Amino acid sequence: DAGITQSPRYKITETGRQVTLMCHQTWSHSYMFWYRQDLGHGLRLIYYSAAADITDKGEVPDGYVVSRSKTENFPLTLESATRSQTSVYFCASTVGGVRDEQYFGPGTRLTVT
């Protein structure tokens, strides 16, 4: 499918488990992002990547790990899930440039019990 996809769309996991959220884009965009959306906070940046093998922390990176071995994939791993990581997670990408609006995936709703 063309565009940006995320999987799974819904996930329930237990505290302490490791979970990986997948993100795939077909545009060959250089930049990719992970945001989390919590009520009252809008979206907050977790990690971003400017290119394959280049990643860096955003505003709320603690407890998360990312990798980007291929341009099109940007997985987000919660190493040991906590209840505070219950959220909706959005992946986004942009080609860069002056305007470079970000294109978002459909989101993954994660519940940590």
Stretch that binds another protein, among 12-20, 60-68, 79-87, 104-112 (CB under 8 A): 104-112
d(CA 35, CA 57): 11
How far apart are the two ends of the chain, measured CA to CA in Å?
Answer: 32
Half-sphere exposure of 47 (CA within 13 A, CB side): 21
The site string for another protein over 70-99 (x = CB under 8 A, - otherwise) reads ------------------x-x-x-x-x-xx
Binding another protein (rule: CB under 8 A), the pick from 48, 64, 74, 89 is 48
Is the Cβ of residue 14 or residue 100 nearer to another protein in the bound state? 100
Residue 10: partners with Cβ closer than 8 Å, 6 or more residues away: 108, 109
The verdict on 10 binding another protein (CB under 8 A) reads no
The verdict on 51 binding another protein (CB under 8 A) reads no
Phi, psi of 84 (to 5 degrees): -70, -10
Q: Which residues bind another protein (CB under 8 A)?
A: 31, 33, 35, 40-45, 48, 50, 56, 58, 88, 90, 92, 94, 96, 98-104, 106-107
